[in-house]
Amino acid sequence: MPVSVSVVKTDHASRYMQQLCKHWSHKFAVEFDDKTGKVPFSPDSNVEFKADETTLQMTLYVADAANRERMQNVVAEHLKRFAFREELDVVWTDNEGAL
């Protein structure tokens, strides 16, 4: 399964992660607390979050590599909307062999 990871530097990682999870909880069975979160977009694609004091790590799992870029953009654009007061640098690293 294609996997992409982005580690975003921000002092508001937990807040942004919780906002993203709450936003998507209207459509998906989201799980989250103040440090971790998971949004299952479909049975074979999801994003997992880990937040600490200075970073938000996002790990995106997609079943189809052709769909990866679209899903990366969806997650990044939603994050940037919630973090409009700061310019976040969202760079995805792809890991083809990960589970």
What is the predicted pLDDT for the residue at 64?
86
- The DSSP call for residue 84 is T
The Cα-based distances of 96 to 4, 56, 89 in angstroms read 8, 21, 22
Please give the span between the terminal C-alpha atoms of the chain, in angstroms, as a whole number.
6
Strand 31-32 versus strand 3-9 pairing type: unpaired
CA gap 15, 11 in Å, rounded: 9
What is the predicted pLDDT for the residue at 66?
86
pTM of the model: 0.91
Fold of 3-83: TATA-Binding Protein (3.30.310)
Ordered by start, the domain boundaries in the chain are 3-83
What is the predicted pLDDT for the residue at 16?
97
What is the predicted pLDDT for the residue at 99?
43
- What is the per-residue pLDDT across 58-83, written as a single tens digit (0 to 9) for each? 999 999 888 999 999 999 999 999 99
- The DSSP call for residue 83 is T
Q: Strand, coil or helix: what is 66?
A: helix
What is the predicted pLDDT for the residue at 98?
46
Which residue stretches of the chain have pLDDT < 50?
97-99
What is the predicted pLDDT for the residue at 96?
59
